[in-house]
Structure 1
Amino acid sequence: MDSPRVQVLALKNTPTPWRRLWGTGLTTSLGLVIGLLLGHLEWGIWAFMGGFTSLYVQKQPYRTRAITLALVGMGLAASMALGALSAVWWEMALALGFVSAASTYLTGSFDVPLPAGFMFVLVACISAALPLHPPGIVGVRVLCVLGGASLAWLVGMSDWLWDRRGPTSAPVKGAFTALSHYVAAIGGGKAKAREFHAAQAVALAHRVALSSNDRRIRAMAVQAEKIFRAAVALSSDIQRPLDPKWAHVLAIVAAHITKPLDSRPGLPLFPDRHCHTVGRFIETVEETLRVAQSEEVPQTRPALYRPTVKERLARGLDQDSMILPAVLRIGIATATAVALARLLGITHPFWTPLTAAAVLQGVSTVVITQRTIQRAIGTTLGLALTALLLLLHPIPILTAVLVVVLQLSMLFFIAKNYGISVIFITTMALVIIYAGTHTAVAPMIFARFIDTLIGGAWGLLAAFLLWGQASSARLPVAMARSLRRAGHLFQAVLKGSSPKQIIRLRTACLDSLLALRHLYVTSLGELPHPPANTPALFSVERLGYLVMAVCDAPRALDALLADDVGPVFNQLADRVEDRSDAEVRIPALPRFPAIEDQLWETAEALDALPERREKSS
C-alpha cells in the first residue's frame, strides 16, 4: 500500500467521465449565455449553480433519471433559498447544518455516487455569502437555479433521442464483464475479490433492470444473477482454473446485451460434466446463450427484489447503517463550524462550514485525513489562482468562460486526485461570489485561507470524535445479520417457500453481504486500527454466497433438515455478537457438503476472533 503522502499526490487511473463533462459544460454554458444576453451575468451564474444537476446524471432508466434530476434541481433551489435566509449566524448554522445532513441522508439512502450531497452544501454556502438586497433578490436567485436545473434536465434526458437502451444496458453489460473476470479467477488467488465485484455488479444490474420495461434487459439481468450463483456453487467443487474459453463466452454475451447474438459460441468441454455443480453451470450458460440469441424475449420473473422508496428511507435511519453516523457527523460539524467561526470573530463564516463539510465527504478517518491535507494544499493553490484571475478584472463574458472552464477542470480531476480538483472548486466558488458581491480581492483571499485552515481542522476533529470507528463497531452486527439472513434463506429453500418469498430473502441476503464488505473496507481506514477479524468475515461472506447458490438447485425439500440447520446460523450469529458460548452443533448435510464444510470453517473462524481468544484465556 502506498504511503499517505504518495496517495495525497497520486493521480488515480480512473476513466474520464466524458458524458458528464459535455453534459455539464453544455448546461452551464447555456445558462451563462442566457444571462449575458439578458444583460445580467449574475442571473447566468445562479443558473450555472442549477446546472450542477447535470452532475447527477447516472446510468439508470430514463423514467428514473427524469425523477432524480427533477428532485436534484428542486433540492439545489431549496439549498439556495435556505442559504440566503441566513441573516444571522445561528440561522446560518441551522440552515447549513440541515442542508448538509439532509443531503447526506437522501443521497446515502438512494446510493447516489459522488458528488453525493456536497453540491447542495456548496450552493447553500455560496448563497449565504451573497447580499440580501435588493428586495426580492432571493426569489430571483431561486428561479434562476430552477431555470439552470431545467436546462440540465433537458440535456440529461437528451440521450433518449439516440440511445434509448444505453443507461439500462451498461450496468447489465458490466455485470457480465464482472462475471467473465470472476469465472476466469475461479481456482486462483483472485477469486474472492472477483466474487465480490461480480456480486456488486449483478446487484446493480438487477436494480437498474427492474426499473426498466425492456424485456431483453430484464431477462439478461436475471441470467447474470443465475450465472453468478451457478459460478459460486461451481467454485466450491472446482479447485483448478477453468478453461479460459468460459470467460470468453461471457465476454461475448456482455457485448450483445441490446442486440441478439448472431452466432452461438462453442462451449469448451468439461471433464467433470456429470458433477452437479458443473452441469448446473453449463446449463445456465446455455440458457443465457439462448436468451442472448432470441429476437423476442418473454417476460421473466425477477431474481432479486427492488426496495420501495419507503424501505430505502427506513434503511438510512437504521441504527446499524453507516448512513446515520455520517448524517449526524456532517450535520453537527457543519453547524458547529459556523458557531466556531463566529466565536473567532469571522464576519462571513460561510467558508468554514463548507471546508468542514468537504473533508467529511471521506468514508473513513484515514481518507478524511488525506482529504484535509489535499483540501489545504488545493485551497491554497486555488486562492493563488483566484487572486491572479480577479486582479485582471475580467469582463462579464470572460467571467462566464472562466467558471465553465473551472467547473470542467474540477470534473476532470475530481476522481483522479481530490487535491487538484479543489484548486478549481475553490477558484470557481470565489469567482461566483466575487461576481455577486464585487468585494475587495485581497481581504477575501486572506479570509478564505484562514477559514480553510479552521474548517479543515474542525472537520478532521469531528471525524475522529464523532463516530470515528463507526464501521469497526458495526462489523460484528453486520456479520451476525448476514448469518441470520443466510439462515432464513436456507430454511425457506428447504421448506419450499413461495418464489416471491425466496426472492425477498435472497435480496436481503445479498444486500447484507455487500454491506458487510463495505463496512470491512471502510474499517481498514479507521484509526486506531480495529482488531483483525478478516478470516471470520470472509468465512461468513463465503457462507452467505454458498447459501444463495443453492436457491435454484434441484434438490429434494426437507423441512426437518430446515428445522435442524436454522438454529445453527442463529447460534453462529450469537457467537459473533458475543451473546453465547454454547457449543454449535452442525448437522450432517449430505446434499449440501459445501455448506456443511463452510459452516464448520465459519465456526472455527469465529472462535479465533481476538475478543473470543481473550475471553477464553
Structure 2
Amino acid sequence: MSSGQYPSIWRGALMFKDTPIPRRRLWGTGLTTALVMSGGLALGHIEWGIWAFLGGFTSLYVHPQPYRVRAITLLIVGLGLDISMGLGGLASVWWHMALALGFVAAASTYLTGTFDVPLPAGFIFVLVACISSALPLHPANIIWIRMLAVLGGAGIAWIVGMVDWLWNPAGPQRAIVSEAFFALADYGASLGSPRTMVSAQHKAAQAVMQAHETARGTRLVQLEHAANEATHLFRALIALAAHVQEPLAPVWHQLLQNLGDQVKHPGKLPLTVPEVPQSLGLPWMRWHDAVQQAVAVLSGQSRPPFELRLYQPTVFERLNRGLSRHALVLPATARIGIAVAFSVLLAHLIGIAHPFWVPLTAAAVLQGVSTAVIAERAIQRALGTTLGLVLAGVLLAMRPPNVATAILLVVLQLGMLFFIAKNYGVSVVFITTIALMNIYTGTHAAIMPMVWARFKDTLIGSAVGLVAAFALWGRASSTRLPQACVHALTRTGDLMQSTLTAASATKLAHLRGSTLSALLSVQHLYQAALGELPPVNRDEVWPLVLSIERLGYLVMSLVRTPRTPDRALAHALQPMWDALNARLQGKAVESITHIPHMPQYPAIEEQLQELAQAEDLLAPHQALS
C-alpha cells in the first residue's frame, strides 16, 4: 500500500470499487433462495419459505476455503443465524430487545472480526435478529417454527455450498495457493516502482500467508509443497528487490503465472527457467535457483530438499488474540454492542412502538474499520435506505402474489450480493427491500405508514451509529499503531538474532510466521488510521511504517547463512535492537548513530540506518499518536 491520501467521505460513499464478481456465491445464493421459496410455496405457507430464506443467508458466507473448513464455517453460521432468530423473537419488551440485539451485534462482530470473515461479516446476524424482533409472537410456539424454518434454510444453503466438492474436491484450495504465485508475478513486475511496489509486496505477503493457512488444512502434500515454494520465491524476491531498480523481465512474470496455473491444473503447461549469468550476483542466482526448484517441484520432477512452514495460530490462539487490548476487533465489538443496545433505549424513550429498525440502521452504519468508513456507511445507509423504502413501497403496493414474491426475493438477494463489495449503498437498497418484504409478510402492516416510520428510524439509527463512531474509540487504529510497530520490530529483531545464532528450523518457521503477521497488522492499522478523523500524521508515520516493513521483509528473506553461527554479530546487534525499540516507545531521546557494520548483509544495514532516521522524524515527542 502506498502512503496515499484517504479519499473524501462523499467520494468514498459514491464510488464503485473494482472488485471481482462473486460468481460462486451468486449462483449458490440464487439456487438456495429459489429452493427455500419453492419449498414454502409447495407447502402452501409462503411465510415458512421466507423464514427459511433468512437461514439461506448462510450462502453469503461461502468463500474460497478447504471444504473441511467451509463445512464447519457454514455449520456455525447456520446455527448462529438460528440463535439470532430465537433471541430476536424472544425480545418481547424493550430492555430484553436491547440486551438481545446488543449481544448479537457484539458477538457476531467479534467472531467475524477475529477470523477475518469478509463482508457481510456480522451484519447479517443482526439483520435476522432485528427482523425476528419485529414479527408477532402469535400463535403460541411460533418462534420455534421460525427457528426450525431457519435451520432448514441453513441446511439447504450448507448442501448448496458444499455441492461442488463432488466434482472439484480440491478446487478452492488450489485456487488459493495459485493466487500466491499470481501475486508474486505482480510483485516482480512492480520492482523499481515506489508507487506500486509496497502495495504489491503487501498483497504478495497476504497471498503467501493465506496459501500456507489453506495448505495446512488440506492434507494434500502437493499443495503443501506448492505453498512452501511460494514462500521460498517470496523471500528470494524480497532479497532481489533490494538490488534491482527495474521490473523483472516479462518472461519471469509469465513463468510465475504459469506456476500458478500449474497449481490449478497440474501438468498443463511446460515450464522453462531462463538462464541467469553468474555475473549478475548472488541475489539473482538465489532467485534463479528458487524458481528452478519451484518448477521442478510443481512439475513433479523432484521433491523439495527440506520442508519450511510458516507457523499458523490455533483457533484458541486467534480467539484469545482478539481479546487483547491491542486488537482492533475489541473496540469494534464494544462499540457496536453499546450502540445497538443504546439505540433500542433511545427508540423506547422517544416513543417508537417498533424500534427494531433503529438498531439495525446503527449496526449497518458501524460496519467499518475507521471513522471515515463509518461516515461513508452513514451516507450510504441514508441514501440506500431511502431508495430501498421507495422500492419496497412500490413493490408491496402492487400486492404481488406469492410466486412473484418468491421471484422478487431471489432477484433482490442476488442484487444485494452483487453490489455489497462494490458499493455498500447500492446493496442497502436491496437489503432494505428484503427486510421490509419479510416483515410485511409476517405482519401485513399498512404499507405507507410502515415505510414512513422506517425512514424516520433510519435517520435516528444513522445518527446513533455516527455519534458512536466518534465517541467510542474513534481513533482505535491510531492508538494501536505504535504498539503494532513495536511488536513488528521486536519480532524482526528476534528473527534476525535467531537466524544469526542458527536456531532450529521449527523456531525460525514460527518466528517468520509471527513476523509476517505483525508486518501485515502494521499495514492494516496504518491504512485504517488514515481513515480516522483526524487522520494520523502521514508525513511522520509513513517513513517509519515503510522502514519497519522493508526491514522485516529483508530479515524474513535471509537464508540460514553462514552455516556456522555468527554470535559475534548477534551480540553486537542486540543493543541496537533494544535502542530502536526503546526510542519507538519514547523511552530514549538520543539519536541512534551507530549501526554495526554488516558487509554480508548490506541491504539490512542500509535499512537499519533508514529506520533510525525515520525515528528521528518523530522527535521531539517520540510517539506515533
TM-score of the aligned structures, taking structure 1 as reference length: 0.96
Q: 1:416 aligns with which of 413, 422, 432?
A: 422
2:67 is aligned, of 55, 59, 62, to: 62
Matched residue, 2:604:
595
Q: Contact 2:183–2:207 (CA<8 Å) still a contact in 1? A: yes
Structure 1 residue 161 corresponds to structure 2 residue 166: yes
2:201 alignment partner, SS class: helix
Deviations 1:481-536 (A, max 9, x none): 10000011111111111111111111100000001000011111111122221011
The 1:101/1:262 distance shift into structure 2, 3 A limit, reads closer
Q: Given that residues 482 and 623 in structure 2 are in contact (C-alpha distance below 8 angstroms), is that contact kept between their aligned partners in structure 1? A: no
Aligned equivalent of 1:265: 271
Over 3 Å counting, the alpha-carbon distance change for 1:263 and 1:252 in structure 2 is closer
Deviation per residue, 1:187-240 (Å, 9 max, x gap): 223222211111111111111111111111111111111100110011112233
Equivalent residue number for residue 343 of structure 2: 337
Does 1:323 find its partner at 2:332?
no
Q: Report the CA distance shift for 1:438/1:222 in structure 2 as closer, same or farther (over 3 A).
A: same
Letter in 2 for 1:120: F
Of 359, 362, 370, the residue aligned with 1:356 is: 362
Q: Distance in 2 between matches of 1:612 and 1:236?
A: 31
**In 2, Cα distance between the equivalents of 1:32 and 1:217?**
39
Counterpart of 2:105, as a letter, is S
Corresponding position of 2:574: 566
**Is 1:110 equivalent to 2:118 in the alignment?**
no
User: Does the 8 A contact of 1:366 with 1:527 survive in 2?
Assistant: yes
Deviation at 1:183, TM superposition (A): 0.9
| Residue 463 (structure 1) aligned to one of 431, 449, 469 | 469
Counterpart-to-counterpart distance in 1, 2:364 and 2:595: 49
The change in CA–CA distance for 1:611 and 1:137 in structure 2 (over 3 A counts) is: farther
Paired with 2:329 and 2:451, the residues of 1 have a C-alpha distance of 35
Map Cα deviations across residues 343-392 of structure 1 (whole Å, 9 max, x no partner): 11111111001000001001111111111111111111111111111111
Alignment-mate amino acid for residue 354 of structure 2? H
1:48 and 1:153, CA in 2 relative to 1: closer, same or farther beyond 3 A?
same
Q: Is the 8 A contact 2:123 2:363 kept in 1?
A: yes
Indicate which of 11, 27, 41 corresponds to 1:22: 27
Q: Does 1:577 align with 2:582?
A: no
Alpha-carbon distance in 2 for matches of 1:241, 1:169: 27
Judge which range, 449-458 or 363-372, deviates more: 363-372
Deviation at 1:298?
7.2
**2:247 is aligned with 1:238:** no
Query: What is the CA distance between 1:552 and its match in structure 2?
Result: 4.3
Quick one: percent identity of the two aligned structures? 53
Hey, what does 1:483 align to over in structure 2?
A: 489
The answer to whether structure 1 residue 520 and structure 2 residue 526 are counterparts is yes
Distance in 2 separating the partners of 1:614 and 1:182: 32
**Separation in structure 2 between the aligned mates of residue 96 and residue 479 of structure 1, nearest angstrom:** 36
Whole-angstrom CA distance in 2 between matches of 1:417 and 1:562: 51
Whether the aligned pair in 1 keeps the contact of 2:589 and 2:622 (CA below 8 Å) is no
Question: How many Å apart are 1:568 and its aligned residue?
Answer: 2.1
The aligned counterpart of 1:254 is 260
Amino acid at match of 1:167: P
Instruction: Say which SS state the counterpart of residue 468 (structure 1) adopts.
Output: coil
Q: Which residue of 1 aligns with 2:14?
A: 9
Identify which of 489, 494, 508 aligns with 1:502: 508
- The DSSP-based 3-state class of the residue aligned with 1:69 is helix
Q: Kindly provide the CA deviation profile for residues 138-192 of structure 1, in whole angstroms up to 9, marking residues without a partner as x.
A: 1111111111111011000001111111110111111101100111111223222
* 526-535 or 540-549: bigger deviation: 526-535
Instruction: Note if 1:395 corresponds to 2:395.
Output: no
Please say if residues 542 and 598 of structure 1, whose CA atoms lie closer than 8 Å, have aligned partners that are also in contact. yes
- Among residues 602, 608, 617, which one is paired with 1:608 in the alignment? 617
* Distance across 2 between alignment mates of 1:207 and 1:273: 38
CA distance in 1, matches of 2:367, 2:559: 38
SS of structure 2 residue aligned to 1:557: coil
Paired with 1:294 and 1:271, the residues of 2 have a C-alpha distance of: 26
The residue identity in structure 2 corresponding to 1:605 is: A
Tell me which residue corresponds to 1:544. 552
Compared with structure 1, are the counterparts of its residues 287 and 79 closer, same or farther at alpha carbon in structure 2 (3 Å cutoff)? same
Q: Equivalents in 1 of 2:258, 2:520: separation in Å?
A: 27
1:218 paired with 2:224, answer: yes
SS for the counterpart of 1:257 is helix
- Aligned to 1:164, the other structure's residue is in SS state coil
Corresponding residue to 1:148 among 149, 153, 168: 153
- The amino acid across from 1:444 in the alignment is M
What is the rounded CA distance, in whole Å, between the counterparts of 1:227 and 1:77 in structure 2? 45
Do 1:35 and 1:45's aligned partners in 2 also have CA atoms closer than 8 Å? Answer: yes
Q: Give the letter for the 2:613 counterpart.
A: E
Offset at residue 244 of structure 1 (A): 2.2
Q: Which residue of 1 aligns with 2:178?
A: 173
Deviation, 1:12, is 2.2
**Alpha carbons 1:262, 1:293 under 8 Å: kept:** no
State how far apart, in whole Å, the 1-side matches of 2:188 and 2:606 are: 22
Question: For 1:237, what is the secondary structure of its paired residue?
Answer: coil
CA distance in 2, matches of 1:551, 1:321: 31
Residues 20 and 55, structure 1, Cα contact 8 Å, conserved in 2: yes
Tell me how far 1:310 sits from its aligned partner.
Answer: 0.5
- Establish whether residue 440 from structure 1 lines up as the match of residue 449 from structure 2: no
Q: Matched residues in 1 for 2:269 and 2:33: separation?
A: 46
The answer on whether the counterparts of 2:215 and 2:224 sit within 8 Å (CA) in structure 1 is yes
Is 1:208 the counterpart of 2:214? The answer is yes
**Range with bigger deviation, 251-260 or 593-602:** 251-260
Aligned counterparts of 2:305 and 2:83: Cα–Cα separation in 1: 41
Distance across 2 between alignment mates of 1:191 and 1:406: 40
Shift of 1:128: 0.6
User: Partner of 2:263: helix, strand, or coil?
Assistant: coil
Give the counterpart of 1:120 among 104, 116, 125: 125
Give the CA deviation at 1:42: 1.1
Q: Can you list the C-alpha shifts for 1:533-554, whole angstroms capped at 9, x where unaligned?
A: 1011100110000110114445
CA contact (8 A) 1:273 1:279 kept: no
Contact 2:55–2:153 (Cα < 8 Å) also in 1 = yes
1:93 corresponds, among 94, 98, 105, to 98
Moved more, 433-442 or 603-612: 603-612
- Give the superposition deviation at 1:51: 0.5
Give me the whole-angstrom Cα distance separating, in 2, the residues matched to 1:292 and 1:351: 54
The aligned amino acid for 2:182 is T
Give, as a single letter, the amino acid of the residue that structure 2 aligns with 1:321. A
Deviations 1:574-614 (A, max 9, x none): 21121222453422222211111111110111111265489
Residue 105 of structure 1 contacts residue 316 of structure 1 at CA under 8 Å; is this kept in 2? yes
What residue is the counterpart of 2:188 in the other structure?
A: 183
Structure 2 CA distance, aligned partners of 1:239 and 1:613?
Answer: 33
Q: Deviations over 1:405-454 (max 9, x none)?
A: 11111111111211111111000000001001111111111110010000
Q: Which residue of 2 aligns with 1:586?
A: 595
What stretches of structure 1 of length at least 5 have no aligned partner?
none
Q: Is the 8 A contact 1:175 1:201 kept in 2?
A: yes
User: Measured at CA, do residues 62 and 552 of structure 1 come closer, stay the same or move farther in structure 2, by a change above 3 Å?
Assistant: farther
Cα distance between partner residues in 2 of 1:389 and 1:554: 73
Number of residue pairs the alignment of both structures matches: 615
Q: Distance in 1 between matches of 2:10 and 2:266?
A: 50
Give distance in 2, aligned partners of 1:323 and 1:302.
31
Residue 48 of structure 2 is aligned with which of 15, 39, 43? Answer: 43
Tell me, yes or no, if the aligned pair for 1:83 and 1:128 is still in contact at 8 Å: yes
Partner amino acid for 1:469? Answer: R
User: Do 1:218 and 1:300's aligned partners in 2 also have CA atoms closer than 8 Å?
Assistant: no
